[in-house]
Every structure is written in structure tokens, then in C-alpha cells.
């Protein structure tokens, strides 16, 4: 470089620095907008990947390092910044591949970041990288990870015996599944613990090779492992879905239907109902629907509400709600209970009144004072529904109960007593009405 001349800075590097605003802390509320602005620079760099892959790779390396430098200056509770960094790694892999860089070097860089990951940016990087690595890149990554798996001399291994081996075994399994290398995957499982997740991965490989019988064998093996635990897992659900699809494919639709029915009986919901009806013959839909609705009477209230509303089983739903205890109604989430109460107001005001009461009591029992306005609005609607249903005695019972149990909650009780007496509540006028009063009068 000529003395006195500074090395020319790539304009994109300047854009990276400007977007990341070094030295400025980004609060949680500002993080989403900040990440959107940074993403614009990422998108601009990705656009040059085809024409200048080598330049793009260098810029993305700088970008990744810059994001690590920025990590202490942002509240990333929402995870948007972390996802952006993960996308940077994937774009970096693609740009290096496009520039024909050494795949072993790429793999070594990836492992280096995965081993030194103070901000968790590379936590699931292997699962994403396997989607963009080409054949040579994947082979190189498998080779590098296998070395890590077979090594037991790291500091982590000395501090926590077995940790390093389990960690790299998991990464290696992810990569082998990406290669569809079933023999290597099974050999690795022989060296480690075979899990339901492993059985699912092996079954998926066989399924992709159009070998359904072998896939089914591994699905059934996975289900045995999954059911040996005390709780259901996501693998259990996926294995059951795959089992039914495979059974139908190899000419055993009756077994697929029986499997779907068993799951619905155990866990009646809108999701297991849809899975059941997928395997019901077209001419038997009505019969199986009725059978499923009767079985769903044994389910949980929240799941029943969703299923029966979707299937327009209103009589069944209303009957169940009338039998529901106050505790069951209070356990319903706001997003389920409020629209349900509104839907039932006209034809079933007695049921609607109980749900509105439950919505109110859910708030005041928990002492959530910032939601008292919503609680008062719900109890006021409950009063209206009780009156419409001609259940004034039930309303008076609610009044007595609230007064006895919540008289110390002054912030709520003042509004509640106003509702009981029928006095008008002080409700602020709508925003636009308040705005218009500020305009000078003629």
C-alpha cells in the first residue's frame, strides 16, 4: 500500500457499522425496528452473492463478528437479533460454496463458532446449516464433527463427563439425517442411547427411500421407547402420524383408522378429530362423527369448547358449560372465554353470565389490579345477562360473594358497587371525540 494512503473501505462495511449503531443500547421495545433496519443491509449483501460470492462471504464474516460485538448492547428478549445472526451464518455458507471455497475450512470455521458461542447464536446452527450445505460441505462437516465426537479431552468433558460426547453425537445425528445416511446413523445409535427421536429420523430416511415397511418397523420401535416415559413428547405425536400414513400406504387402512381412534379417545381435541376423520371412509363420516362427539364428552373443557364450536355441536357445548364448575370456567383462558361468552349472550344468557363472572373473578382472585377495568366490564355484562335470563337471585349471590371475599380491593370495589347500584360509570370518551374538542370553537 502506498505510504499515506488508507485502505479503501467497502461501502457495505460502512453500511454494516451504521446499521448496528455501535455504542448505542437498543431496548426491548426498539429491538424489532432495529433488526428490520439491519436486515435491509443483510438483504443488500445477499443480492451480490451470485455476482461476487467471494466479496459477499468476506462481508458476511465481518457482519457476523460485528453482531457479536453488538450483542451486549441490545435487549434481544424477543430473539429477533439471534435469528438474524443465524441467517447470516447460512448466507455465509452459501456464499463460500458459490465462491468454491474449501469445504473443510468452512466446516472448521463453523465448529469454531459453535464451540465459542457466548450469546447462543449457534445453538441450533447444525439443524439449519444442514439445509444449505452442499454434498461436499456436508461431508466435510460430518468429518469435523465426528472428530469432536470421538474426542474426550476437552475441558467441558473433564468438568461434565459425557457432556461433549452427547453434544457432538446430537450434532452428528442431525448431519447424518441430512445426508440420508441411514447405515451410519444406525451405527452411531449403537454407540449412544437409542431414542424415540432417533427412530423417527431413521424412519423418515426409509420413508424418503420409498421403503415403507422398514420405516414402519422403526416407527413402532420408536413408539415403544416414547411410551416408556411418563409424559407424551412431540416425537410420540409425530411417530403416530407417520405410523398411520405408512399403514394406509401399505394397504392397512383399518389399522390406521384404529390408531387414529385410539389417540382421539385418549386425547379428544380438534387436532386429533381432524386426524381421525382423515382415515374414516367417505361413506362412514356421519357415523364416526357421532361416535367421536360422544367420546369427546370425557375430554378437557378447553379442548371441548374448541372442538364443539368448530363442529357446531352447540347443544352439547351448552349442556357441558351448565355442568361446569366455577373453577373450570375460571381456568379458561381469556382468548377462549370472552368470545365464547359473547357468542352465547343472545340464546343462552345464563351460561354467558357465568362465563363473564368467571372472567372477572379470574382477575380479582389473582389481584391483577391493572386489569380491573376489564374485570368490571365483564361483571357488568354478567349482570346484564343474569337479568336477561331472569336469574336475579343468582346475581345477588355473586354480589354477596364478591363483597365478602374482595372488600379490601378498593380499586375494584368502588366500580363494582357502582355497577350493583346501577349508577353510571365514568367512562372516558373515545379518543377521536377528545381530539375534536381541542379544535378552536367558531
Q: pTM score, two decimals?
A: 0.75
Place of cell 368470545: 339
Average pLDDT over residues 50-78: 96
Tens digits of residue pLDDT in 231-259: 667 888 899 999 999 999 999 999 999 99
Whole-number pLDDT of residue 227: 85
φ, ψ (nearest 5 deg) of residue 26: -105, 115
Q: Which of 248, 244, 133 is nearest to 179 (CA)?
A: 133
Whole-number pLDDT of residue 1: 46
Q: Does the pLDDT value for residue 325 go beyond 70? A: yes
Of 20-24, 148-152, 212-216, 413-417, the range with the lowest mean pLDDT is: 148-152
Rounded Cα distance, 410 and 402, in Å: 12
- Cα three-residue angle 183-188-191, rounded to 5 degrees: 135
Place of cell 455458507: 93
Whole-number pLDDT of residue 269: 96
Query: Could you give the C-alpha distances from 215 to 175, 194, 212, 341, in angstroms and in order?
Result: 19, 16, 5, 47
Cell of 215: 420405516
Q: Does the pLDDT value for residue 34 go beyond 80? A: yes
Cell of 424: 353510571
Count of residues making up the chain:
442
Q: Among residues of the chain, what percentage have pLDDT more than 70?
A: 93
Distance of alpha carbon 220 from its chain centroid, rounded? 27
What residues contact 87, with CB distance under 8 A and at least 6 apart? 42
Tens digits of residue pLDDT in 377-422: 999 999 999 999 999 999 999 999 999 999 999 989 999 999 999 8
Q: Does the pLDDT value for residue 423 go beyond 90? A: no
Tens digits of residue pLDDT in 133-169: 999 999 999 999 999 898 855 555 455 557 788 889 9
Amino acid at each position: 500500500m502506498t505510504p499515506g494512503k488508507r485502505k479503501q473501505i467497502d461501502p457495505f462495511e460502512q453500511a454494516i457499522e451504521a446499521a448496528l449503531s455501535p455504542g448505542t443500547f437498543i431496548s426491548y421495545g426498539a429491538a424489532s425496528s432495529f433488526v428490520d433496519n439491519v436486515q435491509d443491509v443483510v438483504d443488500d449483501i445477499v443480492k451480490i452473492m451470485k455476482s461476487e460470492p467471494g466479496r459477499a462471504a468476506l462481508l458476511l464474516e465481518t457482519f457476523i463478528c460485528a453482531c457479536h460485538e453488538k450483542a451486549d448492547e441490545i435487549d434481544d428478549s424477543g430473539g429477533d437479533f439471534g435469528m438474524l445472526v443465524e441467517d447470516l451464518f447460512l448466507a455465509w455458507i452459501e456464499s463460500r460454496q458459490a465462491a468454491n471455497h474449501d469445504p473443510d475450512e468452512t466446516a472448521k470455521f463453523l465448529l469454531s463458532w459453535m464451540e465459542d458461542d457466548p450469546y447462543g447464536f449457534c445453538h441450533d446452527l447444525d439443524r439449519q446449516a444442514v439445509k444449505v450445505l452442499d454434498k461436499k460441505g456436508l461431508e466435510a462437516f460430518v468429518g469435523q464433527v465426528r472428530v469432536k465426537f470421538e474426542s474426550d479431552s476437552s475441558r467441558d468433558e473433564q468438568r461434565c463427563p459425557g457432556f461433549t460426547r452427547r453434544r457432538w453425537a446430537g450434532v452428528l445425528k442431525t448431519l447424518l439425517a441430512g445426508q440420508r445416511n441411514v447405515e451410519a446413523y444406525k451405527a452411531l445409535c449403537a454407540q449412544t442411547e437409542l431414542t424415540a427421536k432417533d427412530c423417527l429420523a431413521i424412519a423418515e430416511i426409509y420413508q424418503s427411500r420409498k421403503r415403507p415397511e422398514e420405516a414402519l418397523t422403526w416407527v413402532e420401535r420408536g413408539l415403544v421407547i416414547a411410551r416408556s416415559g411418563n409424559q407424551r413428547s412431540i416425537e410420540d405425536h409425530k411417530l403416530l402420524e407417520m405410523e398411520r400414513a405408512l399403514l394406509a400406504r401399505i394397504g392397512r387402512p383399518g389399522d390406521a383408522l384404529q390408531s387414529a381412534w385410539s389417540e382421539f379417545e385418549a386425547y379428544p381435541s380438534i387436532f386429533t378429530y381432524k386426524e381421525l376423520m382423515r382415515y374414516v371412509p367417505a361413506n362412514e363420516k356421519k357415523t364416526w362423527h357421532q361416535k367421536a362427539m360422544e367420546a369427546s364428552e370425557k375430554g378437557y373443557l378447553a379442548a371441548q369448547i374448541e372442538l364443539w364450536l368448530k363442529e357446531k355441536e352447540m347443544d352439547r357445548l351448552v349442556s357441558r358449560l351448565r355442568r361446569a364448575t366455577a373453577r373450570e370456567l375460571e381456568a379458561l383462558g381469556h382468548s377462549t372465554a370472552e368470545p365464547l361468552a359473547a357468542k352465547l349472550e343472545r340464546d343462552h344468557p345464563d351460561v354467558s353470565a357465568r362465563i363473564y363472572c368467571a372472567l372477572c373473578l379470574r382477575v380479582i382472585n389473582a389481584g391483577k389490579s391493572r386489569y380491573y377495568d376489564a374485570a368490571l366490564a365483564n361483571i357488568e355484562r354478567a349482570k346484564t345477562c343474569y337479568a336477561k335470563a331472569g336469574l336475579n337471585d343468582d346475581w345477588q349471590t355473586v354480589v354477596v360473594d364478591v363483597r365478602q371475599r374482595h372488600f379490601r380491593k378498593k380499586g375494584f370495589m368502588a366500580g363494582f358497587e357502582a355497577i350493583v347500584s346501577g349508577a353510571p360509570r365514568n367512562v372516558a370518551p373515545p379518543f377521536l371525540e377528545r381530539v375534536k374538542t381541542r379544535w378552536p370553537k367558531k
